[in-house]
């Protein structure tokens, strides 16, 4: 049976990560608010049949929990989650964890975080019940100027992080911190 993956925030910089997972043989569920954007993620994949689209606002915890319950009931256990979640939604990971860990199931979380996580690592939600992997998005230091990572660099870095399966993986650079680009 195919392995299952969930990509939260899949229709931006994680688009190529979702498509790569499908290519690796995963059944991939992609989450975002805009269904049209999720369709583009699926339709640009070499394995569109491996995709399930979940159009929802992750701030609505009850709705997210219900969607996760239905997904697991339909597909079975989800082994891998890749998430890019804005800080306005701290309940998303505990909500997903509550459903996926039941009853004592194992899963891996690749938690994509902005560069600030280098200085202030986000607290891993208590009792989330997964093997936790933090991915920190850094920046690119040029000779004169620094810049933020492109979507392509981010996707490639996240794929490398999943392959490395380390507790923490840095995409680009986080030091020297003073050379972090201004917004």
Ligand X SMILES: NC(=O)c1ccc[n+]([C@@H]2O[C@H](COP(=O)([O-])OP(=O)(O)OC[C@H]3O[C@@H](n4cnc5c(N)ncnc54)[C@H](OP(=O)(O)O)[C@@H]3O)[C@@H](O)[C@H]2O)c1
Q: Contact residues for ligand X (CB under 6 A)?
A: 9-14, 31-34, 37, 57-59, 84, 86, 114-115, 137-139, 148-149, 151, 154
Output 33 or 119, the one with its CB closest to ligand X. Answer: 33
**Closest separation in Å from C-beta 39 to ligand X:** 11
H helix or E strand, kind and range, residue 35? helix 35-43
Rounded distance, CA 12 to CA 34, Å?
11
Query: Count of CB atoms within 10 A of residue 48's CB?
Result: 13
Output 80 or 170, the one with its CB closest to ligand X. Answer: 170
**Closest separation in Å from C-beta 118 to ligand X:** 10
Q: Which residues lie closer than 8 Å to 10 by C-beta, 6 or more apart?
A: 17, 18, 30, 31, 32, 38, 41, 82
Q: Which residues lie closer than 8 Å to 118 by C-beta, 6 or more apart?
A: 136, 138, 170, 174, 177
**Closest separation in Å from C-beta 100 to ligand X:** 17
**Closest separation in Å from C-beta 37 to ligand X:** 5
**Closest separation in Å from C-beta 69 to ligand X:** 17
- 7 and 21 in contact (C-beta within 8 Å)? yes
Output 12 or 76, the one with its CB closest to ligand X. Answer: 12
H helix or E strand, kind and range, residue 7? strand 4-8
Output 76 or 152, the one with its CB closest to ligand X. Answer: 152
Output 125 or 138, the one with its CB closest to ligand X. Answer: 138
Residue nearest to ligand X (CB): 12
């Amino acid at each position: 049976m195919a392995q299952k993956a969930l990509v939260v925030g899949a229709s931006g910089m994680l688009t190529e990560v979702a498509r790569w997972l499908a290519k690796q043989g995963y059944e991939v569920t992609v989450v975002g608010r805009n269904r049209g954007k999720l369709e583009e993620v699926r339709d640009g994949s070499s394995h569109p049949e491996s995709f399930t689209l979940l159009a929802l606002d992750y701030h609505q915890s009850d709705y997210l929990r219900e969607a996760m319950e239905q997904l697991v009931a339909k597909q079975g256990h989800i082994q891998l989650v890749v998430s890019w979640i804005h800080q306005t939604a701290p309940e998303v990971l505990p909500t997903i964890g509550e459903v996926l860990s039941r009853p004592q199931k194992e899963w891996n979380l690749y938690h994509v975080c902005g560069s600030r996580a280098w200085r202030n690592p986000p607290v891993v939600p208590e009792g989330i019940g997964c093997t936790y992997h933090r991915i920190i998005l850094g920046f690119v230091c040029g000779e004169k100027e620094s810049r933020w990572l492109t979507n392509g660099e981010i996707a490639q870095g996240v794929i490398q992080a999943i392959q490395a399966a380390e507790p923490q993986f840095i995409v680009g650079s986080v030091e020297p911190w003073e050379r972090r680009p201004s917004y």
